[in-house]
Amino acid sequence: MVTQRAMELADRVERFVRDVVIPYEKDPRCGFHGPSDDLVMEMRAKARAAGVLTPHVLPDGSHLTQRETAVVLIRSGLSPLGPLACNTMAPDEGNMYLIGHVASAEQKERFLKPLVSGEARSAFFMTEPASDNGAGSDPMMMQTTCKLDGNHWVINGRKAFITGAEGSKVGIVMAKSEDGACMFLVELPDPAITIERVLDTIDSSMPGGHAVVKIENLRVSADQMLGASGEGFKYAQIRLSPARLSHCMRWLGACIRAQEIASEYAYKRMAFGKQLIDHEGVGFMLAENMIDIKQSELMIDWCAGVLDSGSLGTSESSMAKVAVSEALMRIADKCVQVMGGTGVTQDTIVEQVFREVRAFRIYDGPTEVHKWSLAKRIKREVKQAQPA
């Protein structure tokens, strides 16, 4: 059951997003590679004043439960700019979660504090270029290396699709040592980390866009390693399951808003002698969206409950990611269809939500990779159930 504190916080977040953030959606500082940092910081100053900045992290540094986080992040997602304003966006929200669970007290003071305060953005350097045969959906293919040199680690490699690398002040860099995968906390910018280019992608909600990055002889003090050498993939699992679910939360909020816009359009628009919503072909699409929205809410709540039990929720988060991302795609697509020509214009956010959700079906693991992982689990469980 969701607590009263979470509902009250979610209500405050929703009022802030609807009253303060939504008017920014037409701001010219929303560019092809995401909103500018000055726009983000302007909105965050207002969120701070309204008491809704980083709402999922409590004043004592603890986090809301995942089920509480869900109701808050869904509301923040009612505008594509809402998570940026409230500091609940990816990758920062997931990075804060990871640093909060793994980092030392000194690392938290240096790297986590500016993220929680909303004064800095962060980037997670894991994915690598396909042209290098590097890590993508299969992190075991990681090519980036780290070697110990005295009391420093030296990191070399290339990364791709690094969200928000341009403009970030904190980075989590993954590389492999002789022990296995490692994670390092770094201050950005650093001359050893250069942005080769910012990719032109279908989505446009993330500040800094998605970059291809070269890391050349990056020297990182040994005390900036996150956790222990060789434990990077284990730490990644701590981050990835909640992060997948958080994406579901935020984009569900955006689809709820798209449904509101499409429903109002269908109510006001007349065609063939009656309101558009009275045509079954249109009304049924909106009804199907209502069903998908409720099913997504329930799937998110179920998976959040699993994570709150202490489980890593790897399979559960895969199921939620597949079910919710595919449902949100159906919702966004139907909203565009209901609105016809208007739906493919930038007169409303419906067109953007469609683009963002299409990308979400790939980010944080494509649907097919999650299904493959679940199929392996099914095979393993069937094998174990066989008589000796």
- Same domain as 372, residue 256: yes
- Same domain as 261, residue 375: yes
Q: Which of 179, 205, 228 is the last residue of a domain?
A: 228
- Same domain as 346, residue 224: no
| Residue 375: Cβ within 10 Å count | 10
Share of the chain above pLDDT 70, in %: 100
Query: Token digits for 294?
Result: 């409720």
CATH assignment at residue 185 = 2.40.110.10
- Same domain as 281, residue 150: no
Q: Which of 228, 244, 267 is the last residue of a domain?
A: 228
Confidence band (pLDDT; 50, 70, 90) for 2?
confident
Query: Token digits for 344?
Result: 């493919």
- Same domain as 319, residue 255: yes
- Same domain as 130, residue 210: yes
Is residue 113 included in any domain, yes or no? no
- Same domain as 256, residue 221: no
- Same domain as 298, residue 222: no
Which residues are CB-contacts of 124 (< 8 A; sequence separation ≥ 6)?
91, 94, 95, 162, 163, 171, 172, 174, 239
CATH assignment at residue 36 = 1.10.540.10
Q: Tell me what pLDDT residue 66 has.
A: 96
Share of the chain above pLDDT 90, in %: 95
- Same domain as 294, residue 337: yes
The model's pLDDT over 39-59, given as tens digits with 9 standing for 90+, comes to: 999 999 999 999 999 999 988
CATH assignment at residue 249 = 1.20.140.10
206, 159 Cβ separation under 8 angstroms: no
Confidence band (pLDDT; 50, 70, 90) for 62?
confident
350, 335 Cβ separation under 8 angstroms: yes
Largest CA distance in the chain: 79
Rg (CA), the chain: 21
- Same domain as 54, residue 25: yes
Q: List the beta strands (DSSP E) in 261-380.
A: 270-271, 274-275
Which residues are CB-contacts of 49 (< 8 A; sequence separation ≥ 6)?
none
Which residues are CB-contacts of 159 (< 8 A; sequence separation ≥ 6)?
125, 126, 127, 128, 129, 144, 165, 173, 212, 213, 215
Segments forming the whole domain that contains residue 56? 4-89
- Same domain as 357, residue 297: yes
Which residues are CB-contacts of 315 (< 8 A; sequence separation ≥ 6)?
373, 374, 377
When pLDDT is averaged across residues 6-27 and rounded to a whole number, the result is 98
Q: Tell me what pLDDT residue 59 has.
A: 86
Number of compact structural domains in the chain: 3
